[in-house]
Amino acid sequence: MIDETVIQTRLKRAREALNDTGADAIVCFPSSNMYYLSGFDDEPMERHLFLFVTPETALFVAPEMYDAQIKDESPITDVRTWGDIEDPTALLETVGDELGLEGGHLLVDDRMWALFTQDLQATFPEASFGIASKVLENLRVRKDEAELDRLREAARLSDTVSKEIRALGAGAIGMTERELAAEIGDRLASAGGEGVSFETVVGSGPNGARPHHRHGERTIESGDPVVLDFGTWFEGYPGDQTRTVVFDGEPSAKLREVHEAVLEAHNAGVEAVEPGVEAREIDRAARTVLEDRGYGDAFIHRTGHGVGLDVHEPPYITSENGRKLEPGMVCSVEPGVYLEGEFGVRIEDLVVVTEDGYERLNDSPRTWRPLDE
């Protein structure tokens, strides 16, 4: 459970930001935003479950069956409930009257289902609408020490399993990608992780050339480069790291060359991280290495993304983003080279922006050799 004083501080900052932007309310749907502001979260679902935050107050509109759960998990105990056979929009109207929302400007959760956005628009036809990240992005983008500790632990668990999986060496040959992904998931759970942060990527041989190939029935063969991209949750925060390993046999000269180039690009990106530097300069540092080595066209995605309550969140490390990095921001640095029909190589660590530079959260070996420490 998030400490009550942390929630109160976040609510205070959200209210100040609402006042600064002239908006009248943030309306969260079950999401990382709801969790950030209240300590309560649930799967998005078809029932109306909202958190309203205005400059004066914060309250939930929730199905009756959630009443005790919300009061238990959140310091926000003003919970207005509707029963399963009632019309929730009647309650929305009542709450809207009380909060003075009709004719106001409402910032709805970026991840609110269109179904509910439409309902809010129909319930408050005189209101105007924007998205909550306008206010919440700036609050969430800098992590506090408790958040950083959770991210450190999530990274440590992912590193532990990364080392164990590399150490399989020749033992991984003959396994299918699906079997290896299951093994990774089991080991992350045994290490103390709380489920995988995203579908584990095991991209063997040519499958590695598809950055978001997850895992399939292909059998890992001797000499295959295998892209391993995975992480686990720890107390609400995810790990996300990638290594490209040749479990057994001799890789091609081309794989060695590409791996060296990607590692150099990865290190150049990480070493460019410091406060005051624009996100696009990190992208540029990594991309220049690959361009200089002739692989610019094979680096087909951005260099990284912020990481926090969501695995992908601002700041995005793209070639366009002029946002300056600030202490407490956390991002991935994950350049890759993707050669369709051949193989892919990606190397990814998470990095914290510190007062005078950066802190890497990952320390597992980055070479293609499986047994190196």
Residue 24 or 240 with smaller CB distance to Mn ion: 240
Closest contact distance (angstroms) between CB of 330 and ligand GLY is 13
Residue 159 or 334 with smaller CB distance to ligand GLY: 334
Q: Which residue, 30, 33, 35, 112, is CA-closest to 73? A: 35
* Segment contacting Mn ion by CB under 5 A, of 12-20, 26-34, 82-90, 342-350: 342-350
Residue 278 to residue 275: CA distance in whole angstroms: 8
For residues 287 and 296, the answer to whether their CB atoms sit within 8 Å is: yes
Q: Which of 198, 264, 339, 371 binds ligand GLY (CB under 6 A)?
A: 198
Sheet holding 330-333, edge to edge: 313-317, 304-306, 330-333, 349-353, 358-360
Q: How many residues line the site for Mn ion (CB under 5 A)? A: 5
E-assigned strands of the chain? 25-28, 50-53, 58-63, 79-82, 105-108, 128-131, 201-204, 225-230, 233-234, 237-238, 241-246, 304-306, 313-317, 330-333, 336-339, 343-346, 349-353, 358-360
Closest contact distance (angstroms) between CB of 319 and Mn ion is 17
Residue 224 or 348 with smaller CB distance to Mn ion: 348
Instruction: Give the CA diameter of the chain.
Output: 70
Q: Which of 24, 109, 137, 229 binds Mn ion (CB under 5 A)?
A: 229
Does the protein bind ligand GLY through residue 334 (CB under 6 A)?
yes
Q: Which one of ligand GLY, Mn ion, none interacts with residue 137, CB within 5 to 8 A by kind?
A: none
Q: How many residues line the site for ligand GLY (CB under 6 A)? A: 8
Closest contact distance (angstroms) between CB of 203 and ligand GLY is 11
Closest contact distance (angstroms) between CB of 99 and ligand GLY is 38
Q: At what angle do helices 145-166 and 177-191 cross, to 10 degrees?
A: 130
Taking residues 163 to 182 in sequence order and writing x for each that binds ligand GLY by CB under 6 A, - otherwise, the string is --------------------
Does the protein bind Mn ion through residue 183 (CB under 5 A)?
no
Which residues partner with 52 through β-bridges?
Answer: 27, 59
Tally Cβ neighbours within 10 Å of residue 83: 11
Closest contact distance (angstroms) between CB of 129 and Mn ion is 31
Which residues partner with 337 through β-bridges?
Answer: 345
Q: Which of 177, 240, 310, 313 binds Mn ion (CB under 5 A)?
A: 240
Residue 160 or 332 with smaller CB distance to ligand GLY: 332
Tally Cβ neighbours within 10 Å of residue 115: 9
Closest contact distance (angstroms) between CB of 185 and Mn ion is 15
Closest contact distance (angstroms) between CB of 108 and Mn ion is 27
Q: Which one of Mn ion, ligand GLY, none interacts with residue 198, CB within 5 to 8 A by kind?
A: ligand GLY
Closest contact distance (angstroms) between CB of 169 and ligand GLY is 24
Residue 105 φ/ψ region, left for φ over 0, alpha for ψ in the -120 to 50 degree band, beta for the rest = beta
Interface positions, 225-284, toward ligand GLY (CB under 6 A): 229, 240
For residues 184 and 193, the answer to whether their CB atoms sit within 8 Å is: no
Residue closest to ligand GLY (Cβ)? 229
Q: Which of 348, 351, 353, 361 binds ligand GLY (CB under 6 A)?
A: 348
Q: How many residues does the chain have?
A: 373
Does the protein bind Mn ion through residue 332 (CB under 5 A)?
yes
Does the protein bind ligand GLY through residue 349 (CB under 6 A)?
no
- DSSP of 164-175, one letter per residue? HHHTTGGGGTT-
Residue 58 or 196 with smaller CB distance to ligand GLY: 196
SS3 281: helix
Long-range contacts of 6-13 (CB under 8 A, 24+ apart): 6/144, 6/146, 7/37, 7/38, 7/39, 7/74, 7/75, 7/76, 8/75, 10/36, 10/37, 10/139, 11/37, 11/53, 11/58, 11/76, 13/139
Q: Which residues bind ligand GLY (CB under 6 A)?
A: 198, 201, 229, 240, 305, 332, 334, 348
Q: Which residues bind Mn ion (CB under 5 A)?
A: 229, 240, 242, 332, 348
